[in-house]
Structure 1
Amino acid sequence: MTVSSAATESTTQPDIGRVAATIGDPTRIRMLLLLMEGRSLTAKELAYGAGVEPATASAHLRRLEADALITSLSSGRYKYFGLRSPAVAEMIESLMVVAPEKPADPRRSTVPENLRAARLCYDHLAGQLGTEVSSALLERGWLTLLDETHAAYDVTPDGERAFAAIGVDVNALQKSSRGRRRFAYGCMDWSERRPHLAGALGAAVAERCIALGWLARQKHSRALAVTEAGHDALRAWLAR
């Protein structure tokens, strides 16, 4: 390490205040909550959802993109916006856990009741369903805690076989996620106040449950519905 690089490292630090100011704006946090559904949205859709004019929305989107909270992709005449990474979704979900309650605004409800039952937290299962599945995985001994804070989980040999039964290759997933995102950990659920399985493994389980027809996405929402077949299939899988 050179002297100049060491000096640079010692004089820089994360600008938490900047990010806090960005997400502290009511319009911008509403936009981020809309993007928590996991779909990319246009500026017009975000403006409508946040209750502001398109010109105003554009200024807010520029700020969110400048602070690396969202990313954009142009496709033809449209520009689509989405959360930059799972870390942004984790931050928003964590804020929802610690934020004090306030009377719901019926015009801008950010926590619909159907989300409490079952939903996607960016790309993994959350809500009552997500926390119950996570508890079952731990109780069955398929996952083990690496520390008491649920900051990291490991998969046992029994767990590898159980996940393989629904099409999740744990070893391949660990290799592909290495250096890109955390593998498996407990994300505190804002509605249940208990952890649900997050990370690359959580995303893979959610993806397979949807692909197998056990869960169905609700249109224009991150809420999920357990299908008729899914009730029996999930129970049978977790009872292996």
Structure 2
Amino acid sequence: MTISHPHGPPCTPRFDILGQAIGDASRTRMLCELMEGRAYTNKELASAAGITPQTATAHLRLLCDAGMVVPEKRGRCVYHRLAGSEVAQALEQLAAIAPMDSLYLAQRRKAGGLAEVRSCYDHLAGPLAVAMTDAFVQKGMLVERDGGFHATPSDQWQKLGVRLPDLGTPSRQPFARPCLDWTERRLHVAGPMGRQLLTHALERGWMQRRQHKRGLTLTAPGRRALEQILGLEISRITQETDHA
């Protein structure tokens, strides 16, 4: 006897569709490329994955059908980007538990080896981002509670370009979201706070994007700012990264 659902068939997540979408090494490499947060052409993603543009077209169509990637037409070119921060967050979490011969090593290559700091979609990642998060917690600027981060008022936030939300302002997502770092396997800050930190660092010239890889260059002014504001020992972080 078959029991039917009173309101039609039950709605269940289609993990099988997502599994098919990420279940290919070439598509994995393209997704890692898109984790930078930028949009890329078919040819650029094909080059990153080491495949022909024709093959990349088929892969991108599957990723678009799965809702992970969206196309954007700009003039004569069509660019592709991740469908949103939710997709990036899901990929980050999967990467943290993926075998080291797949997403993990792909991320290290994409980051430019063991870059001390890099962009991860719309926020900072890597050893320096983890050290910054540790400093936030140690200084009481962030409090870990109920599996999340809660920001507390501090004069240091303004120096870092962070504007805390009003307490009564509703939000669809946590302001400071803990994110397990792909390569460090420790937490860094994502969410709106992470986005503000990255935006401020780039606008102030504390960090600069590299032309190809996701690794960011920490400038001398940025080094001084983070040492003065957070008391970080940048040289120690750099040495640990070089010997990892």
Same fold? TM cut 0.5: yes
List alignment gaps of at least 5 residues for structure 2. 233-244
Superposition misfits of 4+ residues, deviation over 3 angstroms: 113-116, 172-175
Q: Which residue identity is paired with 1:154?
A: H
For the pair 1:146 / 2:145, whether they are aligned, the reply is: yes
SS in 1 for 2:140: coil
SS in 1 for 2:7: helix
Match of 1:202 among 194, 197, 206: 194
Aligned to 2:126: 127
Cα displacement (A) at 1:143: 0.8
Cα displacement (A) at 1:45: 0.9
Q: Which residue identity is paired with 1:178?
A: S
For the pair 1:111 / 2:96, whether they are aligned, the reply is: no
> How many pairs are equivalent?
225
> Cα distance 1:115–1:73, how it changes in 2: closer, same or farther (>3 A)?
farther
TM-score, structure 2 length as denominator?
A: 0.84
Q: Which residue identity is paired with 2:125?
A: A
Aligned to 2:30: 31
Q: Which residue identity is paired with 1:61?
A: L
CA–CA distance in 2 between the matches of 1:85 and 1:13?
A: 21
SS in 2 for 1:81: strand
Match of 1:162 among 149, 156, 162: 156
Match of 2:177 among 181, 185, 188: 185
8 Å Cα contact 2:107/2:182 also seen in 1: no
8 Å Cα contact 2:201/2:207 also seen in 1: yes
8 Å Cα contact 1:72/1:79 also seen in 2: yes
8 Å Cα contact 2:161/2:196 also seen in 1: no
8 Å Cα contact 1:173/1:200 also seen in 2: no
8 Å Cα contact 1:173/1:201 also seen in 2: no
- Write the deviation string for residues 40-84 of structure 1: whole angstroms up to 9, x where unpaired: 000111111111111111111111111110111101110010011
Cα displacement (A) at 1:130: 0.6
- Write the deviation string for residues 78-108 of structure 1: whole angstroms up to 9, x where unpaired: 001001111211222222211122399xxx9
Aligned to 1:56: 55
Q: Which residue identity is paired with 1:196?
A: H
TM-score, structure 1 length as denominator?
A: 0.85
Cα displacement (A) at 1:35: 0.6
8 Å Cα contact 2:124/2:189 also seen in 1: yes
> Cα distance 1:18–1:34, how it changes in 2: closer, same or farther (>3 A)?
same
CA–CA distance in 2 between the matches of 1:225 and 1:54?
A: 31
Aligned to 2:240: none
CA–CA distance in 1 between the matches of 2:29 and 2:201?
A: 28
Cα displacement (A) at 1:172: 6.4
CA–CA distance in 1 between the matches of 2:68 and 2:14?
A: 13
List alignment gaps of at least 5 residues for structure 1. none
CA–CA distance in 1 between the matches of 2:167 and 2:20?
A: 36
> Cα distance 1:174–1:32, how it changes in 2: closer, same or farther (>3 A)?
farther
8 Å Cα contact 1:116/1:191 also seen in 2: no
CA–CA distance in 2 between the matches of 1:80 and 1:178?
A: 30
- Write the deviation string for residues 1-37 of structure 1: whole angstroms up to 9, x where unpaired: xxxx9724x6111101210111111111111011112
> Cα distance 1:20–1:204, how it changes in 2: closer, same or farther (>3 A)?
same
Aligned to 2:93: 94
SS in 1 for 2:184: coil
